[in-house]
A and B are shown apart, each in its own frame.
Chain A
Amino acid sequence: MHKRLFHITFLILLTNMLSGCVESFDAATEDFESVLVIDALITNEVKHQEINLSRTFRFEEEKAGSESNALVKVVDDMQNEFIFEENNPGQYVSVSMFAAQPNVNYQLSITTSEGSIYESTPEVLPKNTPIDDLYASMETNDQNVEGVAILVDTYDPEGESQYYRFDYEETYKIVAPFWNPLELIIENEERLFIRPVPRAQEEQVCYNTVNSVNIILGDTSGFSEDRLNRFEVRFLARDNYIIGHRYSILVRQYVISREAHIYYETLNEFSGLESIFSENQPGFFNGNISPKNDSKEKVVGFFDVSSVDEKRIFFDHKDFFPEDLVPAFPFDCPITTPTGIEFINGVRFETTEYWANHSPEDASEGFFKVVPRICGDCTVLGSNIVPDFWIE
């Protein structure tokens, strides 16, 4: 808790004041070092558990290379072995479904194709503490922005949980603002006859689901009771278009070990906003996995055994802001009347959507009013299949 609260994060603010500046730049890699990255999480849910192995990569590269052909297993202290097999490159999935059990030690063991062995310290499943309540509330945040905060209440009367991590999966309804029941098709390729016909599929209402990528940590270790009260998992500004219609969030709460907490916290510290005047000294930090062949070799990552609980809520924009109009669609939707090849290509490559018929005043105008596809077809931004869990 303390580190989070004490961390002075006011970089941009003070910089503004001092007429300084913060600008982004394209980092170049100096002295690259390829290191194994282990992203391992097993929970108390019965499922095919998943472990990801990758390598560090250069700034010039798009994404991490995978670590393939490794032997991955988790061993418990009753000598039960859970073997993981490579599904996709770098993605290892347990052959059998299993859930981490309380009071059992689990140890991760990895042997790479080159013969390097890595082992974690034995980890035990923390106590399972359920989410007390998950709710949305209209709030004004630190930057004086009005919006909806997704809040969690959690309480462990026994005070054993203390360290929590959260992630979420948010799903929101997208309504294409310039949707028309008709769409343009090229009926005859040779004669280039184009006309509006009823749409072949649902393209007005879609749903998009996004996973959180930041590490959200809760810590009650400095509190008189093991309670998180109104803990903010997500804040959505009032004018954010993703809450423009209906929004749902599934919040997962993990009870984690103290070591895991320290690891995640350090990760956040080195990747978060820095104070301009007191810059943390970054450096390499160990997780709970160490190399067995060469004690000085670096290995990144953590073997996290945690118990999880989840809750889902739904809300509409008008639940909180009944008098508001729908938040502005964040993409430009100019209505145009193209002609010739521009018009044909727009239809052929599906970059435009039909909006209305048009009576041209001269040859520079076409017979149809069109909008960019994103404005009239929601499948650009989401899926037209209603998710199973969706409740209107």
Chain B
Amino acid sequence: MRLLLTIILLLSFKLIIAQNDTIGVTISFKDAQVTDVLNEIETLTEYRFYYVKDWLGTTPVSGNYQNAGIQDVLQDIFNGTVINYYILKDKKIALNRNNIIYDELPPGFFGHLEKTEEVEDQENTIANNAIFVDKDDVSERNEVETVRIGKAHISTRNRFTLTGYVQNKKSGEPIANLSIVAKNSKIGTVTDASGFYTIELPSGLNVLETSSLGIESMRKNVIIYNDGRLDFLLNESVERLEEVVVRADIAKNVEEVAMGTTEISSEETKNVPVVLGERNILKIATTLPGISSVGEGATGFNVRGGNADQNLVIMDNAVIYNPTHFFGIFQAINPFTAEDLKIYKGSIPAEYGGRLSSVFEITNKDGNTDKFAGEASVGPVTNNVALEIPLVKEKSALIVGGRSSYSDWILRSLDEESLKNSQASFYDAILKYNHKINDNNEIRATGYYSRDAFSITSDSLYNYSNRLFSLRWSHKFNDQNSADLILANSQYKFNIDFDGETNTDFGFGYKVNETHLKYRMRYLLNEKHKFDYGISSKLYAVNPGDIDPEGNESIIEPQSIPKERALETALFFSDTYEFSERLLLDLGFRYSAYFALGASVQRVYEDGLPKEEGTLVESVEYDNNEIIKTYTGPEVRVSGRYFLGKDFSIKGSFNSTYQYIHTLSNNTTVSPIDTWKLSDLNIEPQRANQFSLGLYKNFDDHNFELSLEGYYKRSKNNLDFKVAAELLLNETIETEVLQGEGKAYGVEFLLKKNRGKFNGWLGYTYSRSFIKLDSEFAEELVNDGAYFPSNFDKPHDLSLVANYKFTKRFSLSTNFVYQTGRPVTYPIGNYTFRGADYAFYSDRNKFRIPNYYRLDLSFNVEGNHKLEKLAHSFWNISIYNVLGRNNPYSVFFITESGEIEAYKSSIFSIPIPTITYNFKF
């Protein structure tokens, strides 16, 4: 025991003052040796000292005490020496010599005010309410300090639960996604969104290390002999520039059971060069393996060979149907208020469902409850302001953000005749409120709105908007049980206003609305089992299209496609089961049930024949809320992790998913006027199964992360469309729809360097994605019913994001992308008809456009780090497409004056330099 203590104490270095358990000491000595004094105290009192004699030296000490506290006595004795003392239970006092190295360190600071307290066994508590000197200074070095939880005793348990709360020392905000890792036992955890964490530690000494981006790392020795609580107050790191984008928790790569998950912090994407200076966390996501988009101007993402409509994009628990502005070139998420983006592409947690391929979870920051703060930026496309407003100190705060473009102004200022009638503008606004009612109850509410408007010709104006609202009440019943109640509503709509020269002016509108109620509970049964379970229910309402005449003269006939409604309900359950130290399982199960609801008219077609006017058997009418059709299905979400060695693990997972809402698009890429359609009598839900297997290894104290993942995915009922399908204002959409099968597989390699002057990542993916549209009938047959590459099948995809920090203030970032060109449908000849030549198209996607590559650079200048400075500024000078590579985005064939002209188009064909200025206050 004594040996153990000695070891621990060797690592510690600061004075700890015990606050209770004192006995008065009456003693007097002059020019005495310390050993003698200690012996005297031992005879006079019950205190017993443990120490190495050599440490105490020979310097004589003097003193005179009358019923004084033991601390006072020891304080005087050891004043000016390197000896620390610890008052342990049972009146034992351990002495310890300071770490020698400490003396040689620069006058550092120890900015970690901390508390530990016993949860159990109050009577025997020796709480160490240690108080350290806090010079309120910044230091890059952290010293190790020791805390003890409980005392050593004979126990049947060899693991204890440590819980706690982590706060930003400066702002008082909770720190989410902070990783806490016990270095010796490779156990790790992450703080939740509210800054709470729970970790199971083996008894005895644990070296806990915290790390998170923008937060100074901290190491602590924790001697644990009982369940307890340990809070952290951490400083912001001044080395923010160091990382470009790094996962917040260092060991997660190898430790967590989930596969194919990625996390990107919004703040840390600021260095990565982007087009026109607009920070775009979604575009950065596409530099990671398994996530791609069709091209630069494409809205939507393709995750592991899935369609763009197969991603569930949620912001603070509410679905956001179109998270981009301006055809996907800019994100519709405020980079200042967004905390991070978490992407699940492999194992999707059982609590999520309804989309086949992935979950994009965007979380906004909690407002700072202590201090008013703000951030603003000025760029060539948008300006942006975000404010954090504390309402009730340490309880509630509001965060507001607003961005708007002035591209209208840019368009108008360009001396370009053809742009005179064009306009494009967008804005988004966000409001988030967080309120900590007490330790057990917390409320968060988010409201968000984004809108885009564009018109290219003078007669039509397009606009689309997202609106969402979410409310979350987090409640902790006790240490083991907690729950979240979530209510969310999202709406996406678009309008087309046509105001032409003739009498055919009209307004067209589309709208989808969903209301989501979810109750999610968490039960920590014991150290082996953690349960997450709950119920989720969504009510959809879609207005597939309305057209109305505009103006008195318009002869447009008003038309309205009947509203669609449906209810999607799911029960979910998952058990994170620690089978052994090496094997961790996540056994998830979701059962979803979908009810297409009336009022509606559904058409029944002859079995086994193409759905068309001629095969219509009958039309069936359904009353309001009458169930038209029920689809149900089990969804298995299982994953496991097994440690093969130190920082080396293998993981496997199986995922099945159902999707009941689909986009209707006969474009090769997503367009803002694509509509969403609910499954009904004729359109079946899409289904997918995915197997994945991966190896994960961290090197050099988690500085390097290496992962290799493979997946194989099959999907059914993928929606596709007949050639030149009419999708807007079509009451019989099912006659245009083809439902086929999908097949995708791939290998993803990722190497990340998290720390140091040079950091970043290298990702490479080899993947394929195929679709099959087979039928007995020629009109429903594509490519003879064989598998053909999907529009986003890009076998080779390489991304390098690297950042080099010259000094604290200057850094250079670069981004390099190489991708196989995407498949396009290319004519196999041409023909003459009515005096003009036309391109003759046959099979789909047989041709590929040239390979894509692009290099971007950015140079970042961070304002100086003086805390007194009113505002902290940040300059970003970036060049997008430095090489000026003219990457073809599409090829197309136009008949002009009767002749065919072949064209290829690219979106950013020249280097685009940009300067943006950001400041925080």
A, B: real partners:
yes
Contact B839 A271 (CB under 8 A): yes
Contact A15 B905 (CB under 8 A): yes
Tell yes or no: A26 within 8 A of B by CB.
yes
A22 and B905 in contact, given A12-B418, A144-B421, A281-B721 (Cβ under 8 angstroms): yes
Contact B905 A278 (CB under 8 A): no
Selected interface stretch from B26-34, B131-139, B189-197, B826-834:
B826-834
Considering only CB atoms, which chain B residue lies closest to A35 in the complex? B840
Tell yes or no: A229 within 8 A of B by CB.
yes
Tell yes or no: B894 within 8 A of A by CB.
yes
Interface residue ranges of A1-43 to B (CB < 8 Å): 1-3, 5-6, 8-27, 29-35, 37, 39, 41
Contact B831 A56 (CB under 8 A): yes
Tell yes or no: B865 within 8 A of A by CB.
no
Contact A33 B828 (CB under 8 A): yes
* A231 contact set on B, CB distance < 8 A: 502
Q: How many angstroms between the C-alpha atoms of A1 and B506 in the bound complex?
A: 12
* A143 contact set on B, CB distance < 8 A: 417-418, 421
Selected interface stretch from A177-185, A192-200, A262-270, A360-368:
A262-270
Q: Which of A19, A144, A265, A266 contacts B909 (CB 8 A)?
A: A19
Tell yes or no: A298 within 8 A of B by CB.
yes
Selected interface stretch from A96-104, A217-225, A308-316, A325-333:
A217-225
Tell yes or no: B478 within 8 A of A by CB.
no
Tell yes or no: B64 within 8 A of A by CB.
no
Per-position 1/0 for B838-876, Cβ under 8 A of A:
111111101100000000000000000000000000000
A281 and B668 in contact, given A13-B419, A271-B839, A276-B907 (Cβ under 8 angstroms): yes
Q: How many angstroms between the C-alpha atoms of A1 and B556 in the bound complex?
A: 10
Contact B498 A5 (CB under 8 A): yes
* A285 contact set on B, CB distance < 8 A: 723-724
Contact A279 B892 (CB under 8 A): yes
Nearest Cβ distance between residue B503 and chain A, in whole angstroms? 5
Considering only CB atoms, which chain B residue lies closest to A27 in the complex? B902
Q: How many angstroms between the C-alpha atoms of A335 and B882 in the bound complex?
A: 49
Contact B846 A30 (CB under 8 A): yes
Tell yes or no: A44 within 8 A of B by CB.
no
Q: How many angstroms between the C-alpha atoms of A33 and B826 in the bound complex?
A: 12
* A26 contact set on B, CB distance < 8 A: 902
A31 and B559 in contact, given A22-B905, A59-B830 (Cβ under 8 angstroms): no
Nearest Cβ distance between residue B276 and chain A, in whole angstroms? 9
Q: Which of A41, A273, A278 contacts B669 (CB 8 A)?
A: A278
Contact A24 B901 (CB under 8 A): yes
Q: How many angstroms between the C-alpha atoms of A32 and B327 in the bound complex?
A: 34
Tell yes or no: A186 within 8 A of B by CB.
no
Contact A270 B724 (CB under 8 A): yes
Tell yes or no: B416 within 8 A of A by CB.
yes
Q: Which of A58, A223, A271 contacts B838 (CB 8 A)?
A: A271
* B416 contact set on A, CB distance < 8 A: 16-17
Considering only CB atoms, which chain A residue lies closest to B730 in the complex? A2
Per-position 1/0 for B719-735, Cβ under 8 A of A:
00101101011000000
* B898 contact set on A, CB distance < 8 A: 213-214
Q: How many angstroms between the C-alpha atoms of A29 and B841 in the bound complex?
A: 12
Nearest Cβ distance between residue B505 and chain A, in whole angstroms? 10
Contact A223 B555 (CB under 8 A): yes
Per-position 1/0 for A278-304, Cβ under 8 A of B:
111111111000000001101011000
* A229 contact set on B, CB distance < 8 A: 502-503, 555
Nearest Cβ distance between residue A158 and chain B, in whole angstroms? 16
Considering only CB atoms, which chain A residue lies closest to B847 in the complex? A30
Considering only CB atoms, which chain B residue lies closest to A219 in the complex? B504
Q: How many angstroms between the C-alpha atoms of A41 and B835 in the bound complex?
A: 13
Tell yes or no: A63 within 8 A of B by CB.
yes
* A334 contact set on B, CB distance < 8 A: none
State which size class the interface on A falls in: 35 or more
Tell yes or no: B422 within 8 A of A by CB.
yes
Contact B905 A300 (CB under 8 A): no
Contact A27 B842 (CB under 8 A): no
Q: Which of B498, B508, B907 contacts A18 (CB 8 A)?
A: B907
Contact A279 B890 (CB under 8 A): yes
Interface residue ranges of B401-427 to A (CB < 8 Å): 410-411, 414, 416-422, 424
A270 and B838 in contact, given A24-B903, A144-B417 (Cβ under 8 angstroms): yes
Contact A19 B908 (CB under 8 A): yes
Nearest Cβ distance between residue B504 and chain A, in whole angstroms? 7
* A142 contact set on B, CB distance < 8 A: 421, 457-459
Contact B829 A58 (CB under 8 A): yes
Contact A300 B833 (CB under 8 A): yes
Tell yes or no: B471 within 8 A of A by CB.
no
Q: How many angstroms between the C-alpha atoms of A142 and B839 in the bound complex?
A: 27
Contact A224 B557 (CB under 8 A): yes
Q: Which of A24, A35, A262, A280 contacts B667 (CB 8 A)?
A: A280
Per-position 1/0 for B896-921, Cβ under 8 A of A:
01101111111111101000000000
Tell yes or no: B604 within 8 A of A by CB.
no
Tell yes or no: A119 within 8 A of B by CB.
no
Q: Which of B833, B910, B912 contacts A39 (CB 8 A)?
A: B833
Considering only CB atoms, which chain A residue lies closest to B890 in the complex? A279
Which of A24, A29, A222 is the most central at the interface, judged by chain B CB atoms within 10 Å of its CB?
A: A222
Contact A284 B906 (CB under 8 A): no
Chain B positions near chain A (C-beta within 8 angstroms) = 297-299, 327-329, 410-411, 414, 416-422, 424, 456-460, 462, 496, 498, 501-504, 506, 508, 547, 549, 555-557, 559, 665-671, 673, 721, 723-724, 726, 728-729, 778-779, 781-782, 784, 791, 825-836, 838-844, 846-847, 886, 889-895, 897-898, 900-910, 912
A-B complex: 7 closest residue pairs judged by Cβ atoms:
A10-B456, A278-B671, A213-B898, A27-B902, A283-B723, A271-B895, A266-B724
Some 16 contacts from A to B, beta carbons below 8 A apart, are: A2-B728, A6-B728, A11-B905, A17-B411, A19-B910, A23-B903, A57-B831, A167-B834, A214-B898, A222-B556, A224-B549, A230-B503, A266-B723, A282-B723, A283-B842, A298-B842
